[in-house]
Structure 1
């Protein structure tokens, strides 16, 4: 197995990887970005068709070049995907697509990244592989009647995938509410699960022009890992679903979507059953039950007691040269947002540049 060597390897060409690549280029660093998808932006192209961002375009840009859309428009998922691809081309970022990283380990003072039969070594590695990657579906799903069509939200694209008959959406966060409202136009739809708050205004209405700038300031400067309210929010965001954003409970009710706040906890005669005993005769179940952070491919002890990588502003405290970008609350709530990741990426890139300078020339590949 041959080995390629780099100063820095960035894993992932999503918003975090692209922003990191931009700032590494500005710092004069030599690096490569590895991404599993065939095209830059495919992580967005693979989401459900009607998905639009929950923040206006003026707050969605990556560093150096904003998303080319009207400031108070809400770009769709394909617009975001095409923007990411154009961004990579605009700044000539060295990206290798179709390269699925399956291992990260240490060999002496260098890191080893494997992707199938490909092997790479680097002095620095930036893990920018996303916030949550592995879809969560409860074990009880295997006991449902096989005639029920089941989809996780990551596999749902549009209602044409659904069978005739009732739909149960499990999980009442923002994606679940969006999908339930869409499904209700052609199917009798029920949604279950607790609501963890609602944004108290229409995110596309006139009030948003006043409220969103305030919320953006808070996401960057108030809800941070340095403030008590930020640390409390961090725990909430990492462990539970988010609030309803575009679609609210009133919108669901107006569309005829019945909401049950209880969770699906069992199966009876092949039917999903809530923890209050309610059972549903449905033909479709859409699991909007979220994702978990997968670090199993990192063969280095990096996670803390909460299961998330230990880091300080993206810098690993125990493994020099190892970095993380794009995690929720890496520094603030905005760290996981398209328009907020640039600040963290800039800090990490500067840290890498300083580290490269202090290493001996012989140590730099």
Structure 2
């Protein structure tokens, strides 16, 4: 079947989560024609499809996008479904043109514009904003197919609740926040091993009195203004933590220990069909949950902009490809760049750059029209 003719539009925003909706909000305010495309069937599904008990780590006072506060008490912590519903309401309130069920599979240059493809759909765009997180494609070790086929294997992106598991022990590989929270939930009914190096942890809980007092300061000042690529401290932080797990926030190491979760070494291979740690010990697990993170998943972008799998950009602007922008990446500019309360600033800056590119062309068009009329 032949592809449809390319629809011409000023700006295509790829991704309809909090980053893409933030870009859409600012584009609409500036009068720039645009469309947002998202692979999910419903706005907010990136949140709805995460594990059932997930709650956000930030209080609701930090969970609103530009123009619309989160509709819940500021000190409470939203469920993942409440966050999904908020994003859907946000798109409706500002009448953002979101096309769901559109999975982009190609982005390349088309003269001085871009061609965006999604199956048989094609978009001819003057600007493209890739508004996606750094966590797109689940990663698993290469040796996972060698495990006994009777072992239930799930990536954290596939885990919803303990009913998916077989009777017997559970090995969780990866000790970041996802691994810690899932381990703490599962250990009520299963023996749990947690594999991998220990992760640093924040010295307070988000829900505690200390957390209530400090979280807004940490989010709005430390993460948003201090730990940025504009400060020496921020640049050192970015260089050290870009590829590391986030510090533990709600479930701490002592919580796991008191709940009976057993720490084991790194899982490095398979022995007799069982996962094996770095000291050669097999783990007799009936289930394995891979909390091993994600890769950015940008293989569909056919442009020479990547270094170590990440785009070369300055505060979201890809200087080597005029008209191409990113929003929502981990440490794009600040720690807050991948957090709900931080995407608005990056979105606004990118939209300013789009307006600056668009305005001269508009002025030239008006001048030509005036000359032709007069």
Q: TM-score, structure 2 length as denominator?
A: 0.94
Q: Secondary structure at the match of 1:344?
A: helix
Q: Secondary structure at the match of 1:207?
A: helix
Given the alignment, which residue of 313, 316, 326 partners 1:314? 316
Q: Secondary structure at the match of 1:139?
A: coil
Are 1:357 and 2:362 counterparts?
no
Indicate the RMSD between aligned Cα atoms, in angstroms: 1.1
CA distance in 2, matches of 1:349, 1:319: 16
Q: CA deviation at 1:176?
A: 0.3
Given the alignment, which residue of 241, 245, 249 partners 2:245? 241
Q: CA deviation at 1:242?
A: 1.4
Q: Deviations over 1:10-49 (max 9, x none)?
A: 0000111000000111111110001111100001111000
Q: Secondary structure at the match of 1:214?
A: helix
CA distance in 2, matches of 1:111, 1:202: 46
CA distance in 1, matches of 2:309, 2:243: 10
CA distance in 2, matches of 1:46, 1:209: 28
Given the alignment, which residue of 320, 336, 352 partners 1:334? 336
CA distance in 2, matches of 1:281, 1:232: 41
CA distance in 2, matches of 1:163, 1:198: 31
Are 1:179 and 2:182 counterparts?
yes
CA distance in 2, matches of 1:353, 1:158: 45
Superposed, 1:298-309 pairs within 5 Å as 298-304=301-307, 306-309=308-311
Q: Secondary structure at the match of 2:242?
A: helix
1:65 alignment partner in structure 2: 68
2:147 alignment partner in structure 1: 144
CA contact (8 A) 1:195 1:243 kept: no
CA distance in 2, matches of 1:152, 1:229: 34
Given the alignment, which residue of 127, 132, 139 partners 1:129? 132
1:225 alignment partner in structure 2: 229
Structure with larger Rg? 2
Q: Deviations over 1:247-299 (max 9, x none)?
A: 00111111111122x21001111111111222210100000000011111001
Q: CA deviation at 1:235?
A: 3.2
CA distance in 2, matches of 1:156, 1:106: 38
1:296 alignment partner in structure 2: 299
Q: Secondary structure at the match of 2:224?
A: helix
Q: CA deviation at 1:193?
A: 0.9
Unmatched runs of 5 consecutive residues or more in structure 2: 367-374
2:195 alignment partner in structure 1: 192
CA distance in 1, matches of 2:359, 2:100: 29
CA contact (8 A) 2:39 2:104 kept: yes
CA distance in 2, matches of 1:276, 1:51: 33
Say how many residue pairs are matched. 360
